[in-house]
Amino acid sequence: MPAHTVERLAASLETLTLEMHTRAAVLLFREPAMTQQVLDELATVTADLADSSQVGGLIISGRGRTFSTGADLSLYQHAINDESIEIRGYAGLLTSALARVVLNLREASFPVIAAVNGQAAGAGFSLALACDYIIASRKAAFNFAYGRIGASPDGGMTWLLPRVVGPARAVQLLMEQPVLRAERAKAEGIVHQVVDAPDLMAACLDQLNACHTVAPHAIRAAKRLVHLSSHLPLAEHLDLERSMFADGLVTEDMRRGVDALLAGDWPEFEGR
C-alpha cells in the first residue's frame, strides 16, 4: 500500500486516529468503548496496515486516561431488553468483528505493541493480549470485566492468556477476575515493561527500534512459527522451519547479514 493510501486511510477514520512516526504506525482510540463502528474501523485499518510496505511496526493506544473499556454496555442493555433484536445474532456481529482484529494483529508481519495508558477492560484486555508486546503506564490497569456482567470472555482471551501465564494460572485468573495493576500484570508475565506515563510512547518506539535491528523476514517467520507451534506435529513444524529458512536464503537482507557478520559489521536491513 503506497504512502498516499496510508494518509487516505487515516483521513477516513472517525473513531480512531492514525499517525506515522517514521515506519511506526500509531493507532489511537478516540473513544473508550468498542462500538460496532470502532470494531469495524479497527478491523479494516489493521488489515490495510498489514499490507503496507511503509509500515514496520504498529503501536495501539488510547487517548486520555483509558486504553479501552471494552464493549459499550449500554448497547448490550438495549439489545437484551429489545424483543425485536435477535440477541445471538447481534452478539455475533460484535464478536466476529473483534475476532477479525485479533487475527489481523496476530498475523501481521511486523511487531505490534499495546501501549496501555490506562484501563484495559474486557475486550480491551483481549486486544492488548493479541499484541506482541504490552508496555504499560504505571497508571494502567487490566480488568477482566466479563464475570461482573455475567459474560464469558471473547476476543481470544481464553486462547491468548494461557500462552502467556500457563493454562492453570489462566483458569485461576479467569475464575477470580482480579483487577491487575501494571506492576502485578508485569509480575504475572502479561506486561513486558512498566514505565511512567509521560514515557509510554517513547518506550514503545524504542522497542520497535530494537526490533528493526533484526531482518523483517526473521520477525515474520518468528511470529508465524511460534503461533503455529502449538498445534503442528514436530515433523510438520520442522518442515515449515526448513521452508521458511530457505525463503530467507534468497533475500537480499540475508546476503547483507552474512556479508556484514563476516566483515565484523552490523547490517542495515531493508526488507528485501
Burial classification of residue 89, based on how many CB atoms lie within 10 Å of its CB (0-12 exposed, 13-18 middle, 19 or more buried)? exposed
A 10 A CB-CB count for 225 gives 14
Q: What is the pLDDT of residue 2?
A: 57
**What is the CATH number that goes with domain 216-263?**
1.10.12
| Averaged confidence pLDDT in the chain | 90
Of 158, 52, 159, 49, which is closest to residue 105 (Cα–Cα)? 49
Domain ranges of the chain: 3-211, 216-263
C-alpha grid cell for residue 106?
496476530
Of 47, 133, 109, which is closest to residue 271 (Cα–Cα)? 109
**Check: CATH 3.90.226.10 for 3-211?**
yes
HSE of 230 in the Cβ direction (CA atoms, 13 Å)? 11
Question: In CATH terms, are 3-211 and 216-263 the same topology?
Answer: no
DSSP E strands in 175-259: the ranges are: 179-181, 193-195
Of 140, 151, 168, 54, which is closest to residue 98 (Cα–Cα)? 151
pLDDT confidence bin for 263, thresholds 50/70/90: confident
DSSP conformation letters of 3-55: HHHHHHHHHH-SSEEEEEETTEEEEEESSSEE-HHHHHHHHHHHHHHHT-TT-
Let me know: does 15 contact 30? Beta carbons within 8 Å: yes
Q: Which residue has the higher pLDDT, 145 or 194?
A: 194
User: pLDDT tens, 97-140?
Assistant: 899 999 999 999 999 999 999 999 999 999 999 999 999 999 99
